Amino acid sequence: MHRERRFQAWVQVSMGCNSVCSYCIVPAVRGREVSRRPGEIVAEVTRLAADGVREITLLGQNVNSWGRDLLPAVKTEFGELLRACDGVEGVERIRFTSPHPKDFRREVIAAMAECDAVCEHAHLPLQSGSTRILKAMRRTYGRERYLKLVDDLRAGIPDLALTTDIIVGFPGETEDEFVETLEVVEEVGFDGAFTFVYSPRRDTEAAGFSDEFVDHEVAVERMQRLVAVVQRRARERAQRFVGRTLDVLVEGTSRTDPSKLRGRIRHNKVVNFEGVARPGEIVPVEISAATSQTLAGEEVLLARATG
């Protein structure tokens, strides 16, 4: 129930995880997935909206598999939950994290495309671009299946922003397999990525692969190469926003320039801009510049007043 800002809130839709990723301790710590009932979730979203919340983020360890454990008593799926939350008056933005590629089904893509409040952003963990490494990670999808999902998402939501998670130096990863990851990052063109050098977690399957651990120096060098590609492609992708006027949910003062404001567009990109809006307002901002991380611009009403 913690809220950092009065107009944004997290809504927990499930706890636990049924996946068996070889590097992850969460299922052992939190147990199998348990979904909250849809009526309970929608009631919470309705209360939050009445309290002034404009943006909600649906939260689960594997958020898009929500609802499957409720069968046969309740027949539902995550796309239906998105639609139900979209129908709550006062909620203007809906986000969710973190989904698993294996559970990103067509009903969810359709709901994202058709629901006004659901944002044009998906966090789609890749972890590796090598099918062999993905199998060792027990991710239950391969490179080609992941790329097909990316195509399906962008076909359904043409202006979609995609972010991801990637692990470098997983036990047994060869140089050629790392290059496969670089190739996927190049092909997809993520809008951002959380990147990690593999580190073993006690009591996980992968921690037992000690004879295959990648040298730390090698993993760090690969990480540097990966980050360079991620940032270049993210910077290239961000240029599509330059010249557009986009709605920004104001979060507060810019962290780098106290004379400016800071907020996010629906694509989850941070915007630092000149303006007079207050936190919690959604205002149009004309985007004038873009980096791999942030956008810059000016509030449209301010531009008219001073122009």
Please identify, among 215, 240, 265, the residue that sits at the C-terminal boundary of a domain.
240
Domains held by the chain: number: 3
Instruction: For residue 301, name the pLDDT band (cuts at 50, 70, 90).
Output: confident
> Is residue 303 scored above 60 in pLDDT?
no
* pLDDT tens-place string over residues 52-87: 999 999 999 999 999 999 999 999 999 999 999 999
Looking at residue 305, what is its pLDDT?
46
Average pLDDT of 128-155? 98
What is the DSSP secondary-structure string of the chain? ---SSTTEEEEE-EES-----TT--HHHHH-S-EEPPHHHHHHHHHHHHHTT--EEEEE-TTGGGTTGGGTTTS---HHHHHHHHHTSTT--EEEEE---GGG--HHHHHHHHH-SSB-SEEE---B-S-HHHHHHTT-S--HHHHHHHHHHHHHHSTT-EEEEEEEES-TT--HHHHHHHHHHHHHH--SEEEEEE----TTSGGGG-GGGPPPHHHHHHHHHHHHHHHHHHHHHHHGGGTT-EEEEEEEEE-SS-TTSEEEE-TT--EEEEE----TT-EEEEEEEEE-SSEEEEEEHHHHHHH-
**Is the pLDDT score of 304 beyond 90?**
no
- Domain-ending residue, one of 84, 119, 154: 119
CATH of the domain at 269: 2.40.50.140
| 232 shares a domain with 265 | no
Q: Are residues 195 and 285 in the same domain?
A: no
Q: What is the mean pLDDT of residues 100-111?
A: 95
> Tell me, what's the pLDDT at 273?
97
What pLDDT, on a 0 to 100 scale, did the predictor assign at position 2?
A: 60
Domain that holds residue 247: 242-306
Examine the pLDDT at 226 and tell me if it is beyond 90: yes
What global pTM score does this model have?
0.94
- pLDDT on residue 307: 43
pLDDT at 306: 45
Could you say which of 100, 119, 138 is where a domain stops? 119
Task: Give the whole-number percent of the chain exceeding pLDDT 70.
Answer: 97
pLDDT digits (tens, 9 = 90+) for 261-286: 999 999 999 999 999 999 999 999 99
**Predicted pLDDT of residue 1:** 61
Q: Are residues 172 and 254 in the same domain?
A: no
Task: Please check whether residues 65 and 159 belong to one and the same domain.
Answer: no
